[in-house]
Amino acid sequence: MNLSLEGKNALICGSSQGIGLAIATELALMGANCTLFARNTTSLQEAVLHLDNTLQQEHDTLVADFSKPDEVKQVIEQYVKDKPVHILINNTGGPAAGPIVDAGEEQFLAAFNQHLICNHILTQAVVSSMKAAGYGRIINIISTSVKVPLKNLGVSNTIRGAVASWAKTMSNELAEFGITVNNVLPGATKTQRLSSIINNNANKQQKEIEQVELEMQKEIPAKRFGEPGEIAAVAAFLATPAAAYVNGTSIPVDGGRTGAI
């Protein structure tokens, strides 16, 4: 099984922490040259220092705010002038929690821009170099809400579904060029995002944080939250030559919680 990513260049979004950084760590261990892309310069500079370089990998960083698509477009278009990208990890923090009936129009528009539009901008920028190489992996880190909408995440459920549909359409158009497009759907994973959801639920339900955590874990067949590295392992496999015939899929990594096949 060919799991080597030596000579491949990977662009990992939202990679200063959490799942994004865990993916970058795995890709580097497999030999990829990793570019960490997020908005916090200090966190990026610290994170890139810890990536493996025993195979003479060359790692770097890009800085842009994903709430500003024009800024993302300017940065990525300048970047690809000098460096081809073989692996793109689309990963951005989710919209704030809350019932969909209470969501304002501006929340949907902001989330749409931050997720789908930025994903599209990045894909358009890198696809030419992927076609030239005859190798491309576009991997979107979304949510299990693609399969089953989650309670109290109205805006997120809506936008995540749109991203999944976009990705499936893109996978059909790019497959003949050796480019695959797949979605990884994390369940409850130990990140700042999960902590924020737990705290929000605890405040609304007037419960202790520990009680909310236990109630959430009871709904998961594995009876625990996931680790960022467990999500990263699936994304990293999809990036390899071994996964060349996996295309257009949405793969839950959730300990079995999602109630759909």
Per-residue tens of pLDDT for the chain, all 261 residues? 999 999 999 999 999 999 999 999 999 999 999 999 999 999 999 999 999 999 999 999 999 999 999 999 999 999 999 999 999 999 998 898 899 999 999 999 999 999 999 999 999 999 999 999 999 999 999 999 999 999 989 999 999 999 999 999 999 999 999 999 999 999 999 998 899 889 988 988 999 999 999 999 999 999 999 999 999 999 999 999 999 999 999 999 999 999 998
Residue 3 to residues 65, 167, 179, 229, Cα–Cα distance (Å): 32, 23, 16, 17
pTM of the model: 0.96
Q: Where in the chain is the domain with CATH 3.40.50.720?
A: 9-188+227-253
Count CB-CB contacts under 10 A for residue 2. Answer: 9
Pairing label, strands 87-90, 33-38: unpaired
Q: In angstroms, rounded to a whole number, what is the distance separating the alpha carbons of residues 31 and 5?
A: 5
Please give the single-letter amino acid code of residue 52: D
Q: In angstroms, rounded to a whole number, what is the distance separating the alpha carbons of residues 6 and 84?
A: 14
Q: What is 9-188+227-253's CATH topology? A: Rossmann fold (3.40.50)
